Structure 1
Amino acid sequence: ASSVYFGLTHNQLIQRAVRVTTKPNDAISLIIPDKDIYYQIAKNQQLNILTTELTPDYELDINLILEQIKKEDSKVIVFSSPHYPTANQLKEEDVLALARETEVPLIVDESYVEFGKYSLVNQVQKFDNLTVVRSFSKAWGLGAFSSAFLVSNAKNIEILKENYII
């Protein structure tokens, strides 16, 4: 079974991944600041938006996020890394700790990963809850040829395929 799912844009793929993991009135965890599109996706899906600020060093506050997930019953976490507004790539060990410490789906937008130090693509088979979304239109300069892909374990890809015509 394949671990890759293609789409027109990374935003479309994030929206699809969020849609198959939530239903209206579920909670979504977002990091602030981050891309506005995540808020638009959440509003379009009629989700309750939970936010967690980055630390003063622009890193994930793992304990605060985990506490929020448990307290508010968040169904999905979405953020970018490299982090779009700050140009800071979140610490790999923090992202992996978050994936390890919760079963909540974790969608990481790596549309600017070519400007970072690492990618989580090679980690998706180790975590059932980890999904990575990449884009060809940023660093590859293919803005006129919008194309993106999502990488996750085969089970998650099958769920996407069952819910969307490809």
Structure 2
Amino acid sequence: MRYFRANINTMVGYTPGEQPPLGVKIVKLNTNENPYPPSPASLQVLQKIDGEQLRRYPDPMATEFREAVGNVFGFPPDWILVGNGSDEILNSIVRACVEQTQKVVYPTPTYILYRTLAQMQPAQFVEVDYDKDYNLPIEQLIAANGAVTLIASPNSPSGHAIPTTLLSQLASQLSGVLVIDEAYVDFAEADALEIVKTHDNVIVLRTLSKGYSLAGLRLGFCFANPSLLEGLVKVKDSYNIDAIACSVGTAAILDQSHKVNNAERVKSSRAKLTTDLKQLGFHVYPSQANFLLVQPPKSNAEEIYQLLKKQGILVRYFKQVHLDNKLRITVGTEEQNQILIEVLTQILT
């Protein structure tokens, strides 16, 4: 339509995973939600929200939450910025750091929103292919010379994590900003937070959506040198974090034992699900996230996706290069995983 900028008319918007209505009986393993409830402490805070918190505008910098994050992770509050989900922070980074003539660079396949954000700017985007083993193409990423380089670690949909030494090497050789998206880090063996302290061009993203079971709250945060965050503050929405999210998120981030216990349950289930899928003939890629990327024995991923959906089981299928013969399966509860294996057994036999 003539009302929109040319790049908006030509781009394809981001397509979220299917979200059936609450109460519909379905085994939902398609959007990487944590299968276990959020912290009881956060739910208690939610029940005590009063009208005065809703009548007034919220704290524009979510100070209470920033201070709680700083206490947990050992950072001063001015090294932390809070967003309406980590997606909002990603949007702010591209808006603040990338001119139309500059590049957004990332290895692929990865989170498809990265491409969408570049197209919205509009900016150029450079997609550098991972090899079949998902080794980081570090030399090609450096050569692409991006104003912003985005690395998801653990990556989606593959689940692999990038060694910290490689991320530090990449940060040292880039002239632009390196964004390390750690949305799934609560299920991984290591993180990249220390790189922020030694490289002033690095932003590390986190979210409460995965490890903290608060995808519906829409609360994310990032760590970076204050001089780098200063520019992001200029482009964020004035009151981007609502009062409810700030209070509930603060209680959740302080309840680390609950988060860790749930993450360990997911990791244990991930190991068992990996074994069960391999026994059915699936190729399962190593994962440090709360999902598995798998290739069916006959590479008929789309057919299996449709058959599972008919049986009331949702997984994620990506009809794109490098992924059209694979499925991404969220790790569910033990009961959900067992239902999945039983139905897959019927389908394959």
User: Is TM > 0.5 for Structure 1 vs Structure 2?
Assistant: yes
Q: Name stretches of at least 5 consecutive residues in structure 2 with no aligned partner.
A: 1-76, 240-349
Question: Deviation string for 1:62-112 (max 9, x for gaps)?
Answer: 11211222xxxx211012100111110112111111001122101111000
Alpha carbons 2:107, 2:137 under 8 Å: kept: no
Aligned to 1:108: 180
Aligned to 2:25: none
The CA distance in 2 between the partners of 1:15 and 1:133, in whole Å, is 12
Query: Which residue identity is paired with 1:27?
Result: K
Aligned to 2:138: 62
The CA distance in 2 between the partners of 1:101 and 1:56, in whole Å, is 25
By percentage of residues, which structure has more helix?
2
Task: Report the CA distance between 1:44 and its aligned residue.
Answer: 0.4
Alpha carbons 1:59, 1:91 under 8 Å: kept: no
Query: Where in structure 1 do 4 or more consecutive aligned residues deviate above 6 Å?
Result: none
Alignment of 1:35-46 (within 5 A): 35-46=111-122
Question: Deviation string for 1:34-69 (max 9, x for gaps)?
Answer: 011111111101111111111332121111211222
Alignment of 1:66-145 (within 5 A): 66-69=142-145, 74-145=146-217
SS at match of 2:117: helix
Aligned to 2:108: 32
The CA distance in 2 between the partners of 1:36 and 1:150, in whole Å, is 20
Q: CA RMSD in A?
A: 1.4
Aligned to 2:89: 13
Deviates more, 1:104-113 or 1:60-69: 60-69
Matched, 1:52 2:128: yes
Query: Which residue identity is paired with 1:63?
Result: E
The CA distance in 2 between the partners of 1:68 and 1:163, in whole Å, is 26
The CA distance in 2 between the partners of 1:102 and 1:25, in whole Å, is 17
The CA distance in 1 between the partners of 2:235 and 2:220, in whole Å, is 18
Alpha carbons 1:131, 1:151 under 8 Å: kept: yes
Alpha carbons 1:75, 1:105 under 8 Å: kept: yes
The CA distance in 2 between the partners of 1:157 and 1:107, in whole Å, is 12
Question: Deviation string for 1:117-153 (max 9, x for gaps)?
Answer: 1111222121011001100011211122110001100
TM-score norm. by structure 2 comes to 0.45
Q: Name stretches of at least 5 consecutive residues in structure 1 with no aligned partner.
A: none
Q: Highest CA radius of gyration, 1 or 2?
A: 2
SS at match of 1:124: helix
Matched positions, count: 162
TM-score norm. by structure 1 comes to 0.91
